Amino acid sequence: MTEKTTCAVVGGGPAGMVLGLLLARAGVEVTVLEKHADFLRDFRGDTVHPTTLRLIDELGLWPKFAALPHSRLRKGTFDVSPGHSVTMVDFGRLRQPHPYVAMVPQWDLLNLLAEAGAAEPTFTLRMSTEVTGLRRDGGRITGVRYEGVDGPGELRADLTVGCDGRGSSVRRDGGSSVRRDAGLRVREWPVSFDVWWFRLPRRQDDAHFTLFPRVAPGKAMIVIPREGYLQIALLIPKGSDSRMRARGLAAFHADVLELLPEAGETVQSITTLDDVKHLDVRMNRLRRWHTDGLLCIGDAAHAMSPAGGVGINVAVQDGVATARLLAEPLRRGMVTDRDLAAVRRRRVAPTAVTQALQRQIDKRLLGPIVRGDDSAGIPTTLVRLVELVPWLAVIPGYLVGVGIRPERAPEFARRPAKG
């Protein structure tokens, strides 16, 4: 059976849910397809940055968001020597309505967006629906094929938007277009590290934990406080997953305790390395974000490094810009190649600048750390400068928390706040 919608959004992550909600508020018929039965996924980004917080406010969702369990990060403090820490990133000085990064489980944010979408008559969210391929009429993409709870089906759409992440099947299928000039080619950059994700129990006396890096020769760790447990990212050399696992569980426990000695006996809660999940860090960007009838945004268009935790924010900004630029063409029923190209024109500069900064962080800070270089760490001159002029910490705070060319909610999507 073939169904019909105006816009099919593949992937119910931050980019897809924001795009779906905003298009629905513009009166566009939109269907979001998410392959999982719910949003409950471990080891997804939990950082919601000031510009995304402002967007939530503009959409009238702030009271409900504020009621979610979350913590607030106003500064990024780095240990530069034993007993000596320096604030290198300051969000508190930003001229933003919410000058901090909110640490909130991503599934709570996505559920909030889904609830808001459900209030719009033209919004449909289909969970447990995995896209298995793209529909084509000649050289144009005209929707998706899927496998849902009731079996296979097809959804015809005027526009299909791939928001299905760095491993995007939509991007892969869209790149096999019959037109030689229409394929979606990817430019890839080398990255020095991968990430091991795991969790440890959070004790009552762990309240002092915030988002900050722990560094030792050859390794680094980010500790993210969550309700009842600590979510931990251990940075390891790129491509070393198998070698690191071959060292065994005891070596892993020792690595954790070297960076986080206060964890103590809680490391014993990891009884098998199967509890440690490997993230293959990628950084890439499509040279062209669209082909006939198809657009990719978020990680499907540009996989970001975890450095700075900006991936969610950039993806959300993509969703906002896409809705603002394409709502009217979608309402008219005539989305042109020029319309789709406008999304990339709007968003490629912020993405490219952010990725360039991430490459410098990788080259000058994270790469030397995971390689165990003697010179690894934040340059002493920079530390002294920030200590002398503390307001300089607002510059990285702006780049991380606000970013390049932040997007505002279009007027058609704004609503008064409701409790």
Per-residue pLDDT of 213-244, as tens digits, reads 788 878 889 887 777 788 899 999 999 999 99
Dihedral over alpha carbons 264, 266, 268, 272 (to 10 degrees): -130
Residue 184 pLDDT grade (very low, low, confident, very high; cuts 50, 70, 90)? confident
> 3-state DSSP call for residue 167?
coil
Q: In the block, which residue shows the tokens 């920030």? A: 386
C-alpha atoms less than 13 angstroms from C-alpha of 134 in its C-beta half-sphere: 30
**What integer pLDDT is reported at residue 244 of this predicted model?**
94
Percent of the chain with pLDDT over 90: 63
DSSP-assigned states of every residue in 339-398? HHHHHHHHHHHHHHHHHHHHHHHIIIIIHHHHHT-TT-SS-HHHHHHHHHSGGGGHHHHH
> In this structure, are residues 52 and 15 in contact, taking their beta carbons and an 8 Å threshold?
no
**Radius of gyration of the chain from its Cα atoms, rounded to whole angstroms:** 22
Residue 207 has pLDDT above 60, yes or no: no
Average pLDDT over residues 188-194: 94
Q: How far apart are CA 206 and CA 225, in angstroms?
A: 9
**What integer pLDDT is reported at residue 182 of this predicted model?**
46
Q: Cβ of 410: how many Cβ atoms within 10 Å?
A: 17
Residue 369 pLDDT grade (very low, low, confident, very high; cuts 50, 70, 90)? confident
Average pLDDT over residues 47-74: 94
DSSP β-ladder status, 47-48 and 101-103: antiparallel
Per-residue pLDDT of 316-365, as tens digits, reads 999 999 999 999 999 999 999 999 999 999 999 999 999 999 999 898 88
Residue 366 pLDDT grade (very low, low, confident, very high; cuts 50, 70, 90)? confident
Average pLDDT over residues 105-112: 91
Q: Which amino acid is at 388?
A: L
- Take residue 260 and report the two structure tokens written for it: 């986080």
- The residue among 158 and 80 whose pLDDT is bigger is 158
DSSP-assigned states of every residue in 97-146? SS-SEEE--HHHHHHHHHHHHHTSTTEEEESS-EEEEEEEETTEEEEEEE
Residue 3 pLDDT grade (very low, low, confident, very high; cuts 50, 70, 90)? very high
Q: How far apart are CA 68 and CA 72, in angstroms?
A: 12
Q: Which burial class, exposed, middle or buried, applies to 69 when counting CB atoms under 10 A from its CB (0-12, 13-18, 19+)?
A: exposed
Residues forming a β-bridge with 154:
2, 145
State phi, psi for 400 to the nearest 5 degrees: -85, -45
Residue 77 has pLDDT above 90, yes or no: no
* pTM beyond 0.85: yes
